[in-house]
Amino acid sequence: AQSVAQPEDQVNVAEGNPLTVKCTYSVSGNPYLFWYVQYPNRGLQFLLKYITGDNLVKGSYGFEAEFNKSQTSFHLKKPSALVSDSALYFCAVREGGSSASKIIFGSGTRLSIRP
Protein backbone atom coordinates (compact mmCIF):
# COMPACT_ATOMS: atom_id res chain seq x y z
CA ALA A 1 0.00 0.00 0.00
CA GLN A 2 1.19 3.50 -0.74
CA SER A 3 1.63 6.14 1.93
CA VAL A 4 3.11 9.56 2.39
CA ALA A 5 4.40 11.22 5.54
CA GLN A 6 4.85 14.86 6.38
CA PRO A 7 6.69 14.82 9.70
CA GLU A 8 6.16 18.48 10.55
CA ASP A 9 2.73 19.83 11.46
CA GLN A 10 4.02 23.38 11.21
CA VAL A 11 7.02 25.15 9.77
CA ASN A 12 7.84 28.73 10.76
CA VAL A 13 10.21 30.81 8.64
CA ALA A 14 11.13 34.49 8.49
CA GLU A 15 10.36 36.29 5.26
CA GLY A 16 13.29 36.24 2.89
CA ASN A 17 14.78 33.07 4.36
CA PRO A 18 14.82 29.74 2.55
CA LEU A 19 12.12 27.25 3.44
CA THR A 20 11.85 23.47 3.33
CA VAL A 21 8.76 21.37 3.86
CA LYS A 22 9.57 17.69 4.28
CA CYS A 23 7.88 14.72 2.68
CA THR A 24 8.71 11.03 2.52
CA TYR A 25 6.78 8.38 0.66
CA SER A 26 6.27 4.68 0.30
CA VAL A 27 4.99 3.04 -2.86
CA SER A 28 5.54 -0.36 -4.41
CA GLY A 29 6.13 0.79 -7.95
CA ASN A 30 7.45 3.97 -9.51
CA PRO A 31 6.18 6.99 -7.62
CA TYR A 32 4.32 9.92 -9.05
CA LEU A 33 4.79 12.70 -6.51
CA PHE A 34 2.89 15.94 -6.09
CA TRP A 35 2.77 19.06 -3.97
CA TYR A 36 -0.42 21.04 -3.48
CA VAL A 37 -1.17 24.20 -1.53
CA GLN A 38 -4.44 25.06 0.16
CA TYR A 39 -5.54 28.46 1.38
CA PRO A 40 -8.29 28.78 4.04
CA ASN A 41 -11.68 27.51 2.85
CA ARG A 42 -10.34 26.90 -0.63
CA GLY A 43 -9.63 23.87 -2.76
CA LEU A 44 -6.24 22.55 -3.71
CA GLN A 45 -3.87 24.39 -5.97
CA PHE A 46 -1.31 22.33 -7.85
CA LEU A 47 2.30 23.40 -7.29
CA LEU A 48 4.44 20.79 -8.99
CA LYS A 49 4.88 17.13 -9.73
CA TYR A 50 7.55 14.53 -10.37
CA ILE A 51 6.83 11.78 -12.86
CA THR A 52 10.19 11.03 -14.40
CA GLY A 53 13.31 12.82 -15.54
CA ASP A 54 15.30 15.41 -13.61
CA ASN A 55 15.20 14.94 -9.87
CA LEU A 56 14.83 18.68 -9.31
CA VAL A 57 11.37 19.82 -10.28
CA LYS A 58 10.42 23.48 -10.59
CA GLY A 59 6.86 24.57 -10.03
CA SER A 60 4.57 27.51 -9.45
CA TYR A 61 5.33 30.60 -7.33
CA GLY A 62 9.07 29.88 -7.20
CA PHE A 63 8.71 26.53 -5.44
CA GLU A 64 10.81 23.50 -6.30
CA ALA A 65 11.13 19.98 -5.00
CA GLU A 66 13.85 17.37 -5.16
CA PHE A 67 13.11 13.72 -5.72
CA ASN A 68 15.52 11.51 -3.79
CA LYS A 69 14.95 7.86 -4.57
CA SER A 70 17.42 6.47 -2.03
CA GLN A 71 15.85 8.46 0.80
CA THR A 72 12.31 8.14 -0.62
CA SER A 73 11.85 11.85 -0.11
CA PHE A 74 10.34 14.71 -2.06
CA HIS A 75 10.99 17.84 0.00
CA LEU A 76 9.47 21.14 -1.08
CA LYS A 77 11.79 24.14 -1.12
CA LYS A 78 11.87 27.82 -1.90
CA PRO A 79 15.00 30.00 -1.77
CA SER A 80 13.29 33.09 -0.34
CA ALA A 81 9.96 32.88 1.50
CA LEU A 82 7.17 35.40 1.16
CA VAL A 83 4.47 36.19 3.71
CA SER A 84 1.95 35.23 1.04
CA ASP A 85 3.38 31.69 1.03
CA SER A 86 1.69 31.11 4.39
CA ALA A 87 -0.77 28.27 3.78
CA LEU A 88 -1.33 24.55 4.20
CA TYR A 89 0.86 22.34 2.04
CA PHE A 90 0.14 18.76 1.08
CA CYS A 91 2.48 16.20 -0.37
CA ALA A 92 0.81 13.40 -2.32
CA VAL A 93 1.84 10.16 -3.99
CA ARG A 94 0.39 7.93 -6.64
CA GLU A 95 1.71 4.64 -7.91
CA GLY A 96 2.84 5.20 -11.47
CA GLY A 97 2.14 2.93 -14.39
CA SER A 98 -1.39 2.12 -13.34
CA SER A 99 -4.37 4.08 -14.59
CA ALA A 100 -6.36 2.76 -11.64
CA SER A 101 -4.02 4.07 -8.96
CA LYS A 102 -5.21 6.82 -6.66
CA ILE A 103 -3.57 9.88 -5.15
CA ILE A 104 -2.98 9.60 -1.42
CA PHE A 105 -2.24 12.71 0.62
CA GLY A 106 0.04 13.39 3.52
CA SER A 107 -1.26 14.94 6.71
CA GLY A 108 -0.31 18.44 5.65
CA THR A 109 2.17 21.01 6.92
CA ARG A 110 1.13 24.49 7.88
CA LEU A 111 3.70 26.98 6.66
CA SER A 112 3.83 30.29 8.50
CA ILE A 113 6.02 33.08 7.17
CA ARG A 114 6.60 35.95 9.57
CA PRO A 115 7.37 39.44 8.25
Partner 1 sequence: GAVVSQHPSRVICKSGTSVKIECRSLDFQATTMFWYRQFPKQSLMLMATSNEGSKATYEQGVEKDKFLINHASLTLSTLTVTSAHPEDSSFYICSARGTANEQFFGPGTRLTVL
The binding site for partner 1 (CB under 8 A) comprises 36, 41-44, 46, 90, 94, 99-100, 102-108
CB of 70 to partner 1, least distance (A): 26
Q: Give min distance, CB of 19 to partner 1, in A.
A: 20
Q: Would you say 7 or 18 has its CB closer to partner 1?
A: 7
Residue (86 or 108) nearer to partner 1, CB:
108
Q: Which is nearer to partner 1, 72 or 105 (CB)?
A: 105
27-30 long-range contacts (CB < 8 A, ≥24 apart) are 27/2, 27/3, 27/93, 27/94, 27/95, 28/1, 28/2, 28/95, 29/95, 29/96, 29/97, 29/98, 30/95, 30/96, 30/97
